[in-house]
Amino acid sequence: MQSKLEFKTPASLAAADDNLDDNSLVVVVGKLGLLSLTPRWQPLSGRQWQQLKLSFSLADESLHWLGHRGEQACYSVTLALEHIGSDYHWLGLREVLGQVEPDFFEVANRAVQVSHWDRDHRFCGRCGSATEYHRSDRARCCPSCQLASYPRISPCIIVLIKKGPHCLLARNARTQSLMFSVLAGFVEAGESAEQCLHREVFEEAGIKVHKLRYFSSQAWPFPGQLMLGFTAEYLSGELNPAVDELADAAWFHYQDLPLIPPNSTVSGQLIESFCQQAASE
């Protein structure tokens, strides 16, 4: 699915609010989630943000330019206040995922990750000095030791494994959810995505796979992953789920699936694509 967003770096991120107008979109990020005027989340307009800022005497030094959605410039701002009246709603990012169009979720996704980076790197991790914004990059820099801190992105693989008309789905041992999904895992330092895929599948499920094919990617802000989606085919081994990682794992026929992720996620898209392909064969 092609994004409707254009994430071009402006000439100066430090002056990101120069073009903030009534056509702009502002994602307000706080400790309780994303701020909205309605129970169904939507960004504030530039005018609504200005009114909010004046009403509560808010500073906007944490305002960051995100990109363009069509002709609309998109921004994020981090809000320290938790209670600003009953006219506003706080929504978690996972709630927003199922509510809005994919391009709106991309705006919220990027806003949350930029907010986390801005909050977590106000002081240098090497020498402890207060950091400053880089003039042109999305970075906070230390004036004492010159360490630059960029938004953290953790690459992960996520893979749908095929075995004829069946696919391997599993439940995560760390949650109480009854939802089944495809296998996933973090790429380790010095490891390629393909090496990670083979390792994670064997460690979590005890099987070996082959015929890896890249599918698509998705930014996944929980808190800052980049999901690299693949398909693979079963090669050998007996299914033996790692109990510390998986609560359950099984081969499911494409016509008899358990509760699975929505199509707004790359995992849901992988499963849907597999089912369409299996039905046509």
Point out the domain boundary residue: 120, 141, 174: 120
Helix (H) or strand (E) holding 225: strand 225-236
Do 133 and 211 belong together in one domain? no
Do 65 and 176 belong together in one domain? no
From edge to edge, which strands make up the β-sheet containing 148-149?
132-133, 140-141, 148-149
pLDDT one digit per residue (tens) for the chain, 281 residues: 445 556 554 444 444 545 677 789 999 998 889 999 888 898 999 888 888 888 877 766 688 888 888 888 899 998 877 667 677 889 988 888 878 887 888 899 999 999 999 999 999 999 999 999 998 889 999 999 999 999 999 999 999 999 999 999 999 988 888 999 999 999 999 999 999 999 999 999 999 999 999 999 998 888 889 999 999 999 999 999 999 999 999 999 999 999 999 888 999 999 999 999 999 98
CATH number of the domain that 263 lies in? 3.90.79.10
Do 181 and 144 belong together in one domain? no
Do 90 and 134 belong together in one domain? no
Q: Which two tokens stand for residue 124?
A: 């240098």
Do 102 and 52 belong together in one domain? yes
Point out the domain boundary residue: 97, 120, 143: 120
Q: What per-residue confidence (pLDDT) applies to 72?
A: 86
Per 3-state DSSP, the chain is made up of helix, strand and coil in percentages (nearest 5) of 25, 35, 40
Q: What per-residue confidence (pLDDT) applies to 7?
A: 53
Point out the domain boundary residue: 120, 139, 169: 120
Q: What's the structural domain count of the chain?
A: 3
Do 18 and 56 belong together in one domain? yes
Do 32 and 144 belong together in one domain? no
Do 90 and 144 belong together in one domain? no
Q: Side chain identity at 130, as an amino acid letter?
A: A
Q: What per-residue confidence (pLDDT) applies to 281?
A: 86
Q: What per-residue confidence (pLDDT) applies to 65?
A: 87
Q: What per-residue confidence (pLDDT) applies to 106?
A: 87
Helices (H), the chain: 46-55, 93-97, 102-120, 193-205, 266-280
* Domain of residue 142, residue span: 126-152
CATH number of the domain that 13 lies in? 3.90.79
Q: What per-residue confidence (pLDDT) applies to 59?
A: 66
Do 174 and 266 belong together in one domain? yes
Do 193 and 163 belong together in one domain? yes
Do 39 and 116 belong together in one domain? yes
Do 161 and 143 belong together in one domain? no
Q: What per-residue confidence (pLDDT) applies to 11?
A: 40
Q: How far apart are CA 46 and CA 54, in angstroms?
A: 12
